[in-house]
Amino acid sequence: VWGATKKSGNMIKFGGGFYCGLIDSVEGKEPIYAFNGFFMQMRSKFVSPDASIYYFVVEWEEAALSWEDFRGKVLGPTDPATAPADSIRGMILAKWQELGLAAEPNTGDNGVHASASPFEALAERMNWLGVAASADAYGQQLLAAGIPEATIEAWGKDPQVTYTIDGEETTASLFDSLEDMDSAPCLEKAVKIAGL
C-alpha cells in the first residue's frame, strides 16, 4: 500500500527519513494519512529470525576524507543504479549475483548503510548493539564536552531541537542538524545545540 502511495505522488517529506503519505488505494476503506509507512517492512529485513547483518566501525583522518565524501563517494548514492562503478554500492550492484544476494540492489536494499554523521553512528550503536554512550569513543567525547548522558540518549531518538547559532534560531531534526558533518565539527555543533 505504501508503494502505491509513493508512486501516486501523494507523499511529502518533512525531513530525513520522515514522510507522510495519503493512503487512498484500499478499496472499501476511508483514506488515511500515514507516517513512515515503509518502516515496518524495512525493519523486518533486519530483525527476522533468518536475517543477519555485518557491521564495521571504520575510522579515517578527517583531513584525508570528509564524512560527506565517505557516504557520497566511497559508498556511492543511495540508488545503486546511479552509483559510480568504483563506489561500494556500484561494486555490489555489478557483482550482486556473485555475492549471493537474493535480488538486484535497489534504493531500498542497496547493499550497505553508513551512518549520516558521527552522532548518528553513536545512536545506531546504542540502538542496535545496546552500547552505552559512556562505553563508546564518540560518546565519551560528547560526555567530556559536558553533554549529559540522558541528553545523548534522548537525542538518539532524533527529536526536533531548537538552537541558536550565530544569532540564527533553528528548529530541525537533530540528525538533520548534524548530517554529513565530520567528527570535530559535529561535536562542536552538538555542544551548541545542548546550549553549553
Q: Quick: pLDDT tens for 75-94.
A: 999 999 999 999 999 999 99
CA pair distance 148, 142, nearest whole angstrom = 8
Domain ranges in the chain are 2-47, 53-114, 118-193
- H/E stretch holding 22: strand 18-23
pLDDT at 122 over 90: yes
> pLDDT tens for residues 18-33?
889 999 888 899 999 9
Rounded to the nearest angstrom, the gap between the alpha carbon of residue 54 and the centroid of all alpha carbons in its chain is 17
DSSP letters for 26-91 = STTS--EEEESTTHHHHHHHHHSTT-----------TTT--HHHIIIIII--SSGGGS-TTSHHHH
Query: Band of the pLDDT at 53, cuts 50, 70, 90?
Result: confident
The model's pTM is 0.80
